[in-house]
Amino acid sequence: MLKLISFYKFVKIKSPIDHKLTFKKFLIDNKLKGSIIFSLEGINGSISGKQSNIDLLIKFLKEKFLFKEFDTVNECEVDFVPFKRAKIKIKNEVVPLNELFNDDKYKFQNRVDPKDWNQLILSNDVTVVDVRKSFESEIGTFEKAINPKINDFRKFPEYFEKLSDDKDRKIAMFCTGGIRCEKAASYLFKRGFKNVYQLKGGILNYLNNVPEKKSLWKGECFVFDERITVVSNSKKGNYLMCAGCRTPMKKKDIHSPKYEKDVSCPNCFDKLTDKQKYRFRMRASQKISGKLKSNSLQRA
């Protein structure tokens, strides 16, 4: 059985670039696919493969960076490896906020377990904020949640500044796996907000641990892999990815006159120029030609 694991760890790394080749080779040698970000403030990854090989990666990461446990781990079984290749990315921050996560005083305060999340967000005095990108909120979100319509996480401080007149306000934040909330919560605590809560392990942890009948989640959860979206128990959802604009679309959209395989969907058809559509058609034809050539060589 194949597994998928998502994880992050805030740990200081002096020279992230030094680890790129070592871990790229490790992933390839152990037939693991997905991506790991190494940054000055820590590690963020999503990897899929055999459980035994994932265990080796976890052991290697802990030994290399001298920590005992990840800050958060979400894992599930998958029917296929939902990544095309192994990638190692080097960044200044695991999540860009223009502020490194380096103050342990505020680390992991007010993390709320999925079993307690419903009670919190149903309270009338709690402001529920989705800190993901706007299109992700439109695919699925929690009841009562505000979509700030912000696609650049670095602009979230501007949004929270609007709330700064009431720093006793209760704010409950959530994101896909929890890492955005860790940074946002730390940012707010340091600026005097007293009642900031975050969903432990993010939406993925909630979907894996709260029965569907009791769930306050509405819709599907976008994920950054070939599954596109997931639902309860991390089962693959019902969205496809448009090859033209690289945004999710519903399966019913393939029946739209504005849908063209590998070119456009109802969301982008009117936004694309004729030149762009032509380029996408040429790209699609080249892929088909490449596959036919590969198949003929294999038969030869």
**What are the pLDDT tens digits along the chain (300 aa)?**
899 999 999 999 999 999 999 999 999 999 999 999 999 999 999 999 999 999 999 999 999 999 999 999 999 999 999 999 999 999 999 998 988 776 665 566 789 999 999 999 999 999 999 999 999 999 999 999 999 999 999 999 888 888 777 888 899 999 999 999 999 998 898 888 889 999 999 999 999 999 999 999 999 999 999 999 999 999 999 999 998 899 999 999 999 999 999 999 999 999 999 999 999 999 888 876 655 445 543 444
Which own/partner pairs from 59-67 qualify as long-range (CB within 8 Å, at least 24 positions apart)? Answer: 60/23, 60/26, 61/9, 64/19, 65/9, 65/11, 65/13, 66/11, 67/9, 67/11
Q: What are the Cα distances from residue 111, in Å, to 149, 175, 197, 218?
A: 24, 13, 6, 22
Alpha helices in 8-113 (DSSP H): 20-29, 51-65
Contacts of residue 39, Cβ cutoff 8 Å, sequence gap at least 6: 13, 16, 90, 91, 92, 93, 94
Domain 104-221 grouped into CATH 3.40.250.10: yes
Our answer to whether residue 242 is catalytic in this structure is no
Q: Which of 90, 78, 164 is nearest to 127 (CA)?
A: 164
CATH 3.30.70.100 describes domain 2-91: yes
Only one residue has tokens 């929690």, namely 142
Residue 89 CA to its chain's centroid (Å): 15
Choosing from 175, 181, 242, 265, the catalytic residue is 175
On the CB side of 161, CA atoms within 13 Å amount to 5
Domains of the chain, by residue range, sit at 2-91, 104-221, 242-300
Q: pTM score, two decimals?
A: 0.90
The Cα–Cα gap between 187 and 181 comes to: 10
